[in-house]
Structure formats: structure tokens, C-alpha cells
Copies of this chain bind each other. A is one copy, B any other.
Amino acid sequence: MERAIDTQLEDLKKMILLMGGHVEKSLSQVTTALLTKDLAMFDEVHAIEKRINEDHIRVDNVCMNILAKQGPVAKDLRLILSVIKINNDLERMGDQTVNISYSGKDYLGRKPIQAQLSDIQKMSEIAGRMVKGSLDCFVRGDVDEAKQILLMDDEIDALKSKVFKDATAHMKIHSDDVEAALDLILIARNLERLGDHATNIAEDVIFAYTGKDVRHGGKFG
């Protein structure tokens, strides 16, 4: 017989997937807005973030309800605790996309310093794959795949360092472009943070399904 909590946990997973879909969309919109110079699209990012914030509160309320009414233990409890954390990471990701929209709008208002924002685009693609991948792992309980997500974070970090290096070098030569270069640095920083949050989710997935705490290099778990 199916337990009531199983249905509730499945519903919770669906809510997280929906919320993750909003984050993916927000990231893809803000990147497209920047790459295609479509200022109006930045506003859509704010509309999506509002929905992410609604999801955030709603997921927390559902978790609290299940905890209060079902008193879950063991694997069920770990799953709910993971959802509480994943919920938090997804909300922060929404904030990052909004930060990117501000810097992106600023950047487009200035003389462009690069013909193509290929590194930013690559970072956004990897971050998007990490968000989607980490939530797929979460729903399927795929711990091996979650470990792959952790590796992708290195790619984003390397690209961030490249953007920082290139933008700094550019600023030193072209003092008129200081603000534009700083915009790109801040955007790269936000994309790196987005990747960090996806990494957190992958770590939470590993904890939820194995009980093994791999945070902080697994040193204290």
C-alpha cells in the first residue's frame, strides 16, 4: 500500500522541478537578453524571479506541513531536509539571474568591449546544464550523475578566471571601458555563484539518497 507521505514527497519533487524550470528559464532569458541586446527581455527575468520567490515560500510551507503531520524519519526525513536546502539554493539562483540582468542592462548601455561574449555564453550554458542536471539527479535519485555535476563546477570556475583576467587586462589599456569590463566581471561572478548553488544541490542529492555528507570535501560528515 502506498503511504500518504509517498504522494506528498512526489508532489514536493514536482514543485522543485517546476521551480528549477523557472530558474533555468530565468538564466536562459537573461543570457539571451545580453547576447541579442534585447533590453525588454531583462524585465521578464524580474517577472520570473517573482514566481521563484513564490515557489520558495510555498515549498518551505509544504515541507513544514509534512514534517509536522507525518513526522518522517530516515530516508524520508533526509529527502525533506534536502528539499529545504535545494529550495534555498534555487531561490538564490533566481537572485543571481536578477543581478546579471542589472549588470547586463548596464553593459548594453555602454560601448561594447567584446564583439562576442563567448566566455559568458559558455559559462551560462554550463550553469544551465548544472541546474538541469542537478535537479534530474534529485528526481531520479541518481547519485553517480550528481558526482558528475560536481566536476562541471571546475569548468565554470576556469571560465570565470579567464573573464576576470581578460577584462582586467582590457581595463588597464582602455580606461574608457572600465565600467563595461567591470559589468562583465560581475556577470561572470554571478554565473560562478550560480554554478556553486548547483553544486550544493548535487551534494544534497548525494546526502538525500545515500546519507553520506560530502560537503566540505566530505571531511566532517
Partner-B contacts on A (CB < 8 A): 53-54, 56-58, 60, 63-64, 67-68, 71, 73-74, 77-78, 81, 84-85, 88, 168, 171-173, 175-176, 178-179, 182, 185, 189, 213, 215-216, 219-221
A213 to chain B: closest residue by CB: B57
Shortest Cβ distance from residue A50 to the other chain B in the assembled complex, whole angstroms: 8
Bound-state CA distance A77–B60 (Å) is 12
Bound-state CA distance A171–B220 (Å) is 43
Residues of B within 8 A of A67 (CB): 67, 77, 81
Question: Interface majority SS on A: helix, strand, loop or mixed?
Answer: helix
Residues of B within 8 A of A56 (CB): 215-216, 220
Complex partner residue of A179 from B73, B81, B168, B179, CB under 8 angstroms: B168
Bound-state CA distance A53–B176 (Å) is 43
Complex partner residue of A182 from B185, B220, B221, CB under 8 angstroms: B185
Residues of B within 8 A of A54 (CB): 216, 220
Are B220 and A53 neighbours in the complex by a CB distance under 8 Å?
yes
Shortest Cβ distance from residue A75 to the other chain B in the assembled complex, whole angstroms: 11
Query: Given contacts A68-B73, A182-B182, could you give 13 more A-B pairs where the C-beta distance is less than 8 Å?
Result: A53-B219, A56-B216, A57-B220, A63-B81, A71-B71, A168-B178, A171-B171, A171-B175, A171-B178, A172-B178, A173-B175, A175-B175, A178-B178
Are B168 and A57 neighbours in the complex by a CB distance under 8 Å?
no
Known: A54-B220, A56-B215, A85-B88. A68 touches B77 (CB 8 A): yes
Shortest Cβ distance from residue A71 to the other chain B in the assembled complex, whole angstroms: 3
Shortest Cβ distance from residue A177 to the other chain B in the assembled complex, whole angstroms: 9
Shortest Cβ distance from residue A149 to the other chain B in the assembled complex, whole angstroms: 19
Are B64 and A77 neighbours in the complex by a CB distance under 8 Å?
yes
Known: A57-B215, A220-B57. A64 touches B88 (CB 8 A): no
Complex partner residue of A74 from B68, B78, B175, CB under 8 angstroms: B68
